Amino acid sequence: MGQWRILLGAAFRSSIIHRGNLVLMVAGSAALQGTQLLFIGVLLDRFGVIAGWSTAQIAFLYGLRLTAHGVGTSLFGQHLATDSVIRLGEYDRFLLRPVSPLVQLLTRYFNLGTLGDLALGFGILGTAIGLAPIDWTPGLVVLTVAAVVGGGLVEAGLQIGLAGLSFRLGSTRDLKVTVDNTFTDFGAYPLPVFGPAGVFALTFALPLAFVAYLPATIVLGKTAELLVPVWFAAVAPLAGPLLLVVGWWFFMRQSRHYTSPGA
């Protein structure tokens, strides 16, 4: 953990040397995410509510998911380079250094665009907290913070696990982008919109519900619509560390199949 923190910090400092690039990357990422928020706003303006969720409640859900996404991608998002690292033989150098190859992969560079996700996510979440009718308690505060961290780790663990398949399949970028787009497109809405089958699939087949929806139902008092026990939703953030450990283990396990392109 210490090595990962030091290397990621070095990558971050290297990335912010060019301030103009920093501003453009952050603004561009925030604008890209903002287009979806604009679309949701149009729907809410037309229909008033979505699956019984008000504008403020949808904003809370969206802000929670986007902030969690920003946490996951800023800390672990460099897995997207796995295909090229393997194909170009850069992984050979990782194996020669006294640091975990996966740690080196995840700290090759820092994607400044993730700061835009974080900034917009925190902004929306903070605004929604002020507008949504939430009866705050210490437990709900802890759950919200845990959801931000745990939700980010859910995405990170899943994507790192998928990245491990690159050692066998050669390329998993399209698969990872598809999963990321699914989280982005579906995660902004209360899951009952997709029907019981959709709720089940986005909870147990693809763990999208654990990122924001399950914790949000408790914070917003929407537990009556849950298809799982309330206690299950309350411990949803714990899925994040669990999936990260599993994804990390799976990646390292699959890395045993690495073959140098120069072999």
Domain that holds residue 70: 2-257
Nearest-angstrom CA–CA distance, 179 and 208: 10
Q: What total number of domains does the chain contain?
A: 1
**Residue 144 covered by a domain:** yes
CB atoms under 10 Å from CB of 74, counted, come to: 21
Burial of 36 by CB count in 10 Å (0-12 exposed, 13-18 middle, 19+ buried)?
middle
**Residue 109 covered by a domain:** yes
Mean pLDDT of the 153-158 span: 95
User: At a CB cut-off of 8 Å and minimum separation 6, what does 48 contact?
Assistant: none
pLDDT at residue 22 is higher than 60? no
Q: Band of the pLDDT at 141, cuts 50, 70, 90?
A: very high
pTM for this entry: 0.88
**Residue 166 covered by a domain:** yes
**Residue 263 covered by a domain:** no
**Residue 262 covered by a domain:** no
> Each residue of 23-59: pLDDT tens digit?
555 555 555 555 656 655 655 566 667 788 888 898 8
